[in-house]
């Protein structure tokens, strides 16, 4: 069935912030052939393009005067098992939910992405910003992805090296931005369980509360991560949000030492070349946690996690962006640290 191109479509149901922006043109595709068919249409070729997955990392500040292409390519399968190193290749269609892939992998007895449980969004969006949580990043399990070039319609494979992964970064947010649409992702997961990564955040203490004191299974780590995320982060179905709005900044060791001198309680995690400081802590110290703004408190900062900006109902994207800019300015003034949005602002 050919993909249908629609005009003047509300995007409110397609972004987790619940912002009521419109797309001049809109179409969903469920296969590479449907995508190619859309890309051949003259009105699509001539228009700016926005690729939409789960809409969980977007803030619309205006209507989109182009074509929004909604990726609905499904499919979860095991491609290959390597008995020598007990690894398994798992392929997921880009339109699958990320957490659905995690659940599928756990059901197959596979480990490697359990720390990334309950991250919202689709599989196709995951490599664009190299999603990460609780000490694990997508690149740790990544094998390759398949993507269609917008101009030619050709399908190309990208290895991990070619993706240029960094902290919440990839080549698709830089030199190849808006040039490819991811159609499938392949991960290399482990059949023989390695030592679980429980050192980051509250995973270890949460496991202890669950009665797990040593050698947790991937399923138990996943359960702990889900419990932590649900306790800290609002459900987009209840309160509009896009999860963590800002990246955690990385500072030099000298800068961190100076911060610790002035603010001894400053938390930090060693990273190559410096220290990562939790953005949520910086924002909370500036008094933003639980802040509400707009008539009737339409939008603000989540009361349990200062890293999350929320739309309580009826906020515009421009209002949320203005709040983000205020937060950035206050953190810069107090700590001399520049915050950068993790969310893609349109």
Cα–chain-centroid distance for residue 255? Answer: 28
The single-letter DSSP state of residue 130 is: T
Residue 12 among the catalytic residues: no
Annotated catalytic residue: which of 105, 137, 244, 319?
244
Residue 342 among the catalytic residues: yes
Phi, psi of 265 (to 5 degrees): -85, 5
Annotated catalytic residue: which of 168, 188, 298, 321?
168
Annotated catalytic residue: which of 114, 146, 319, 342?
342
- 221, exposed or middle or buried, with CB in 10 Å at 0-12, 13-18, 19+? buried
Phi, psi of 45 (to 5 degrees): -60, -35
Residues written for the chain: 346
Residue 31 among the catalytic residues: no
Q: How far apart are CA 148 and CA 85, in angstroms?
A: 31
Helix (H, G, I), strand (E, B), or coil: what is residue 230?
A: helix
Cα-based distances in Å from 87 to 45, 84, 185: 41, 8, 16
Tell me the catalytic residues: 168, 244, 342
């Amino acid at each position: 069935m050919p993909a249908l191109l629609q005009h003047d479509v509300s995007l409110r149901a397609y972004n987790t912030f619940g912002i009521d922006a419109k797309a001049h043109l809109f179409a969903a595709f469920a296969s590479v052939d449907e995508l190619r068919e859309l890309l051949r249409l003259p009105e699509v070729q001539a228009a700016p393009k926005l690729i939409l997955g789960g809409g969980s990392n977007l803030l619309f500040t205006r209507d989109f005067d182009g074509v929004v292409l909604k990726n609905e390519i499904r499919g979860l399968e095991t491609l290959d098992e390597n008995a020598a190193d007990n690894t398994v290749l798992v392929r997921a269609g880009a339109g699958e939910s990320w957490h659905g892939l995690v659940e599928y992998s756990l059901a197959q007895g596979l480990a490697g992405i359990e720390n990334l449980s309950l991250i919202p969004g689709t599989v196709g969006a995951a490599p664009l910003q190299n999603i990460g949580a609780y000490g694990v990043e997508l690149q740790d399990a990544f094998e390759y992805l398949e993507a269609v070039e917008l101009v030619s319609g050709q399908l190309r494979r990208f290895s991990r090296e070619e993706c240029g992964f960094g902290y919440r970064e990839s080549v698709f947010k830089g030199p190849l931005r808006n040039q490819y649409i991811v159609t499938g992702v392949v991960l290399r997961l482990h059949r023989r369980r390695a030592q679980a990564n429980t050192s980051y955040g509250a995973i270890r203490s949460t496991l202890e509360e669950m009665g797990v004191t040593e050698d947790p299974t991937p399923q138990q780590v996943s359960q702990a991560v889900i419990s932590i995320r649900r306790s800290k982060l609002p459900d987009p179905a209840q309160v509009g949000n896009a999860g963590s709005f800002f990246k955690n900044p990385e500072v030099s060791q000298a800068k961190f030492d100076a911060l610790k001198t002035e603010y001894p309680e400053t938390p930090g995690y060693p990273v190559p070349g410096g220290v990562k400081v939790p953005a949520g802590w910086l924002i909370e110290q500036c008094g933003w946690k639980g802040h509400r703004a707009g008539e009737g408190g339409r939008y603000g900062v989540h009361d349990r996690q200062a890293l999350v900006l929320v739309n309580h109902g009826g906020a515009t994207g421009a209002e949320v962006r203005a709040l983000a800019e205020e937060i950035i300015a206050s953190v810069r003034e107090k700590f001399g640290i520049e915050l950068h949005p993790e969310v893609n602002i349109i």
